Structure 1
Amino acid sequence: MSNKGIFTLVLLGVLVLVGANTVFIVNEYERAVVLRFGALVNADVQPGVHIKLPFADRVRKFDGRILTADARPESFYTVENKRLIVDSYAKWRVKNVEAYYKATGGQEDVADARLASRVADGLRNEVGRRTLHEVVSGERDKLMEDLTAQMNETAMELLGVEVIDIRVKRIDLPDDVSESVFDRMAADREKEAREYRATGREQAEVIRADADRQRAVLEANAYRDAELLRGDGDARAAAIYAAAFNQNPDFYAFVRSLNAYRNAFNGSDDLLVVDPSSEFFQYLKNAEGQK
């Protein structure tokens, strides 16, 4: 290869190298700054294609999307001096690129650590002004809203980031307290269960007594109705007998005597001691029943 060809290749290589160090691209989800010999010359580069001085300027890019600062669980005390283990996280994104770069050097882990530390301090103050019930359920949403507004103002001023949301993932009692709390909860539930059982037994006795009363009333009414029916039947039977007797007294007396004979001599071993001249044998002596 001739010297001219070698020179051409070297020139092309230099041009490619210069071009690669001149043009840079910032994506839509990125934020960037331009440093010239270490000094900040462009604090907020917008997304798109840009040109910089080759070898003199250096581009630092940061993630412009919403990021999560996951804080480690911290121990806080309520206004009642009750200890809680709170696990929280914060959602944030870069808002002021210049302030963010100057405060953190563009390092996301540094921003996470500083933001988590300030969130922990804010949580400590908010929890310390509330009771256990308010922290766990009563004012939890308001606590998060107040803390988010407070941290957003502080983080914007000191770190150049916008705090979008702060949330508590979990609130636990310390291990040395959890067991006693669980025992107390179990005792409370057992007491409540005993009260329910006692109430159930009381209601069962009331229901059983009412059922016994209703049964007694039903049996009494049934016995009354049965006696009324039986009395009415006896009255009707007596009326029928009387009517039959009035129609033919002799025949009625004869039938009654036959029935008496049948009942008296029903068994083979029956023994009857009666005066032969009594009225019992009047139809055996005379067909007309005359003495």
Structure 2
Amino acid sequence: MRKSVIAIIIIVLVVLYSSIFVVKEGERGITLQFSKVVRDEDNKPQVYEPGLHFKIPLIESVKTLDARIQTMDNQADRFVTKEKKDLIVDSYIKWRISDFSRYYLATGGGDISQAEVLLKRKFSDRLRSEIGRLDVKDIVTDSRGRLTSEVREALNSGSAGTEDEVETPAADDAIAKAAERVAAETNGKIPVVNPNSMAALGIEVVDVRIKQINLPTEVSEAIFSRMRAEREAVARRHRSQGQEEAEKLRAAADYEVTRTLAESERQALILRGEGDAEAAKLFADAFSQDPDFYAFIRSLRAYEGSFQSNQDVMVLSPDSDFFRFMKSPGNSTR
């Protein structure tokens, strides 16, 4: 009896343990019954919020899915603008699961890599078509925000089938097949959504951002070479203008120096002439007062200039007037 009670308690504990499951914060859980998503009377899947929950053991299983916003970094790719110019665009996408049941069925059991592959193909096609409508100036200016918003709305809502709407067949076919698989597994008992939108995969695109836009290497090198040539031409022009200005300044300085020197020399000659004239006038005024004294002084200067040493010899007539002041007073004629 006691063993039976223990066995019953163990069985109850095992069943209780098997019927309890925990959904962590940031996750959501859906119940599967024989690999089929359990739905309520309104045909809505049972989605469990974070916390402690119960399920039917051995019959029901729980699949937890990440409910947080996911970030998908896209590899930089080449895009062609309206002007037929190539751009290298680096971007990323923020997305999350909006319909857990549809997401689980469309991605083959909630495989995030498969979801990102489909999302990346759709995003790449959509971004390529949107960039093809704009020129480079619109893309790198304020139109970039409008571009990403239009891409996000197009991913969430899908194409409307209008004539202006671009087609993305590569991604649309893959998403349409996933939508058909979901419809087949649910027997068409779920709301119909646009098969060209990410809603067909149970995904909502939260944000689309372009990190940077670059030109291809060959184009960048050509642009840089042209810019370098233009800058060198400007530098040569400025250099030649500088040399021309330098020559002008040098010529003006040389002219000013020559003119200043000539003017200074002219003023010096004028002053020297005026000084000589003033000196001659003073001498004339001074010597006119006593002509004999003036004659005597001039003779002394002549003697001083003639006899530089004791070896000097002069041959003159004895009655020469040159030595008249060297004669004795008695022999002087005056």
TM normalised by structure 1 equals 0.76
Q: CA RMSD in A?
A: 3.8
TM-superposition CA deviations, 1:218-238 (whole Å, max 9, x none): 331243134324522442353
Match of 1:22 among 15, 19, 24: 19
Which letter maps to 2:125?
Answer: D
Q: Which runs of 5+ in 1 are unaligned?
A: none
TM-superposition CA deviations, 1:266-291 (whole Å, max 9, x none): 5899999999888766655699x988
The question of whether the paired residues in 2 share the 8 Å contact of 1:245 and 1:252 is answered with no
The 5-angstrom pairing of residues 91-130 of structure 1 reads 91-104=94-107, 105-130=109-134
Counterpart secondary structure, 1:21: helix
Which letter maps to 2:208?
Answer: I
The question of whether the paired residues in 2 share the 8 Å contact of 1:244 and 1:252 is answered with no
> What is aligned with 2:2?
4
The answer on 1:165 being equivalent to 2:207 is yes
TM-superposition CA deviations, 1:151-209 (whole Å, max 9, x none): 244455323333232234555666xxx44762464255234313421331222222232
> What is aligned with 1:207?
246
> What is aligned with 2:38?
40
The question of whether the paired residues in 2 share the 8 Å contact of 1:68 and 1:91 is answered with yes
Match of 1:90 among 83, 88, 93: 93
The answer on 1:224 being equivalent to 2:263 is yes
Which letter maps to 2:250?
Answer: A
Which letter maps to 1:145?
Answer: S
Deviates more, 1:251-260 or 1:44-53: 251-260
> What is aligned with 1:57?
60
Counterpart secondary structure, 2:38: strand
Structure 1's 246 and 67: CA in aligned 2 closer, same or farther, altered over 3 A?
same
Q: State how far apart, in whole Å, the 1-side matches of 2:317 and 2:144 are.
A: 112
TM-superposition CA deviations, 1:101-159 (whole Å, max 9, x none): 34334221122111111111111111211224444567434322332333244455323
% identity of equivalent residues: 29
TM normalised by structure 2 equals 0.67
The 5-angstrom pairing of residues 128-207 of structure 1 reads 128-135=132-139, 139-154=143-158, 155=197, 157-169=199-211, 171=213, 178-179=217-218, 182-183=221-222, 185-207=224-246
Which letter maps to 1:209?
Answer: K
Count of matched residue pairs: 284
Q: State how far apart, in whole Å, the 2-side matches of 1:4 and 1:93 are.
A: 54
Counterpart secondary structure, 1:122: helix
The question of whether the paired residues in 1 share the 8 Å contact of 2:30 and 2:37 is answered with no
Q: State how far apart, in whole Å, the 1-side matches of 2:304 and 2:29 are.
A: 131
Which letter maps to 1:206?
Answer: E
Q: State how far apart, in whole Å, the 1-side matches of 2:148 and 2:306 are.
A: 107
Q: State how far apart, in whole Å, the 2-side matches of 1:274 and 1:164 are.
A: 132
Q: State how far apart, in whole Å, the 1-side matches of 2:257 and 2:127 are.
A: 71
The answer on 1:81 being equivalent to 2:104 is no
Post-superposition offset of 1:63: 1.6
Deviates more, 1:159-168 or 1:132-141: 132-141
Which structure is richer in relative contact order (CA contacts within 8 A, separation 6 or more)? Answer: 2
